[in-house]
Amino acid sequence: MSLHPHVIAPVPEETARVARAAFPKGHPYMTFRDALGTIFQDEDFTTLFPAWGQPALPPWRLALVTIMQFRENLADRQAAEAVRARIVNVRGSRSSKMDHSSLYAY
């Protein structure tokens, strides 16, 4: 796998508005993002990847999910179920493609 760095886009205003409405008193992860911004960048991981091969998924995303998973003291399957439950709650539908091995995508 190779890494092709991308700029991490800011949180869309509509997403931020919905998050503030959902958590009017705030949330630790929102405070985390507001205080620290983007902690990891793709460039932080470039030395870990060869210059050729299939493009890798953004490693900063896996690093961030790992921190959140550790903070919540969740195993991979528990974290995937927590994400699945939140997606169902927000979308009102089940995501049948979600399993613990694809946690990084959420």
- Report pLDDT for 86: 67
Angle, alpha carbons 27-31-32 (nearest 5°): 115
- Quote the tokens at residue 104: 């990084």
- Quote the tokens at residue 73: 């003291």
- Report pLDDT for 43: 83
In this prediction the pTM is 0.56
Give me the residue label for tokens 């793709």: 42
The answer to whether the CB of 2 falls within 8 A of the CB of 50 is yes
In whole numbers, what is the pLDDT of the chain averaged over residues? 77
- Report pLDDT for 24: 92
- At 25, the pLDDT band (50, 70, 90 cuts) reads very high
More confident residue, 9 or 74: 74
At residue 62, does pLDDT exceed 70?
yes
Q: How many residues does the chain have?
A: 106
The answer to whether the CB of 87 falls within 8 A of the CB of 36 is no
Most confidently modeled range among 33-37, 41-45, 84-88 = 41-45
- Tally Cβ neighbours within 10 Å of residue 69: 18
